[in-house]
Amino acid sequence: MTRPVDLLIIGAGPAGMAAALAAAPSGISIVVLDDNPLPGGQIWRDGPNAQLPTVATEMRAQLQRYSNIHLHSGTKVVAIAGPKRLLLEDAERGWVLGYEKLILCTGARELLLPFPGWTLPGVTGAGGLQALIKSGVPVSGERIVIAGSGPLLLASAATAKKNGAEVVRIAEQAGRRAVSGFALGLWRWPNKAFQAVTLASGAYRLSAHVIEALGSDRLEAVRMQTGSRVEEIACDRLACGFSLVPNTELGSALGCEVRDRAIVVDEWQTTGLTDHYAAGECTGFGGSELALVEGKIAGLVAVGRQEEARAHWPERQRWQRFADRLNQAFTLDPALKTLATADTLVCRCEDVPYAELADHASWNSAKLNTRCGMGACQGRICATAAHTLFGWEPPRLRPPFSPARIATLACLDEPAA
C-alpha cells in the first residue's frame, strides 16, 4: 500500500489555496483536489472571458513553486473508502487515496428558490450567469434582469455589463433600512466600500423580487414586485440567486457536525473529528477575505504551528464581523417562500411540482413518494430549496456522491494509492 498523503485539502478556492500555501513550508506531502479545471473556486473561476484578481494569479503561481503540493484538478470525491481513505475520480481514472489529515474547503453554492417559469431556457442562477459568461457564453446586446439577494447580484451585473449586456434591472429583495445600515457600516472595511461604489448601478432596486418568469419556448419577460407595485420587464435572460448555501455534504458524510447549514469548527478551524479541519464558506458564508484567513489558520494548525495560527485570529474576527453584518442585512423575506404555485416544479430533474410535496412532513417522505431528489443533482438543488420552503432537514449524502464509472467503484477493493 502506498503511504497516505500527509495533508489532503478538498477544494482549491481561496480557502484551499491559502491552507496549502500555509502548510507547504513544513515540507509535508500535500494533495489538493478540486472539480474545476484550474484552482480558484467559484469566486475566481477561470475562462475565456474571466479577469482574475492579482491575488488569485499570485496564489496560483505560488502553488506551482512548491514541489510538495500536488494539485488534482477536475477531480471529485465519489465515496468514503474507509477510515481516512477516499475514493476519487478524474477524467482518466479512479483511485483510493489515504491521508493523515484533511482540510475541507468545499465552498458554497447558490440558493435557488422555485417560482413560476424558473425552468424556462434563459433563467439561471446569478452566480451561474457569471460562470456562463466567464466560460465564453456571449451576452452582448442581451437584456438581462438580475434578482435575489446579496452582493453577488451586483458582481454578476458588472460581469454582464463588461461583456456587452444591457442590465435592465437588479432586484434586491432586502429593504432600504437593512441595506442602508449595512452600507453605512462599510467604512470599517474600506476595500468593500470601494467595491460597493464601483459596482453601483442605476438599475438597482430595493424591496424587489421576481414573481414570475414569462415566455413560451424561452424567457421573454419577468413579472416583478417592487414595493407595492407589480411590473413586467422584457428581457432575454434572468439570473436569480437568493444568497449562498455552504457545501457541507461531504463533511456530514465523514461525520462532522453540521449546524445551521454549516460545518461546525472551533477557533483552530478544527471539526469534531480528530485530524479533520474545515475552512471557507463550508463553515458559513463570509466572502473571500474570510475564507483566505480561515484557510491560512487551518493550514498552519494542520502542521502544528498553532502560535502562528493564533496571530491571524484578529484578522479572522474582523472579517467575521463583516460576514455577520452581511448575513443580517440580506436576510431573506418570508414572502419568497410563497412564490411557488401548486404546479411550479421544485425538483427539476424528476418534474415534481410544489403541490406533490406540500403535504409531506419530511424530505424522506417526499422522496419516497414523489422521486424528488432522485435525479442527476441528487437533491442538491431541490433539497436545499425544500429546507427553505418547508423547514425539512436536508438529506445525508450517500455514496456514490456523484455519478461515477463502474471501473472507479471497483477500486474500492484495491489498496489506497
Tens of pLDDT, residues 83-116: 999 999 999 999 999 999 999 999 999 999 999 9
Q: 88 and 98 in contact (C-beta within 8 Å)? A: no
pLDDT at 1: 42
| Contacts of 67 by beta carbon, 8 Å cutoff, 6+ apart | none
Q: Are residue 218 and residue 284 in the same domain, yes or no?
A: no
Which domain-ending residue is among 300, 326, 352?
326
Q: What is the mean pLDDT of residues 145-164?
A: 94
Q: What is the mean pLDDT of residues 30-36?
A: 96
Q: Are residue 216 and residue 250 in the same domain, yes or no?
A: no
Whole-structure pTM value: 0.94
Q: What is the pLDDT confidence band of residue 33, given thresholds at 50, 70 and 90?
A: very high
Number of domains into which the chain is organized: 3
pLDDT at 417: 58
Residue 410 covered by a domain: no
For 51, the domain range is 5-109+245-326
Q: Are residue 51 and residue 25 in the same domain, yes or no?
A: yes
Q: Are residue 234 and residue 258 in the same domain, yes or no?
A: no
Q: How many CB atoms lie within 10 A of CB 95?
A: 18
Q: Are residue 91 and residue 125 in the same domain, yes or no?
A: no
Q: What is the pLDDT confidence band of residue 415, given thresholds at 50, 70 and 90?
A: low
Question: Is 251 a residue whose pLDDT tops 90?
Answer: yes
Q: Are residue 85 and residue 96 in the same domain, yes or no?
A: yes
Q: What is the DSSP string of 363-391?
A: HHHHHHHH-TT-STTTTTTHHHHHHHHH-
Q: Are residue 225 and residue 281 in the same domain, yes or no?
A: no
Of 89, 61, 55, nearest to 75 by C-alpha is: 89
Residue 160 covered by a domain: yes
Residue 353 pairs in a beta bridge with: 345
pLDDT at 195: 83
Q: Are residue 123 and residue 150 in the same domain, yes or no?
A: yes
| DSSP element (H, E) containing 329 | helix 313-329
Question: Is 9 a residue whose pLDDT tops 70?
Answer: yes
Cα–Cα dist 231/147, whole Å = 14
Q: Are residue 238 and residue 249 in the same domain, yes or no?
A: no
Grid cell at residue 17: 489555496
Grid cell at residue 6: 500527509
pLDDT tens digit sequence for 280-332: 999 998 899 999 999 999 999 999 999 999 999 999 999 999 999 999 999 99
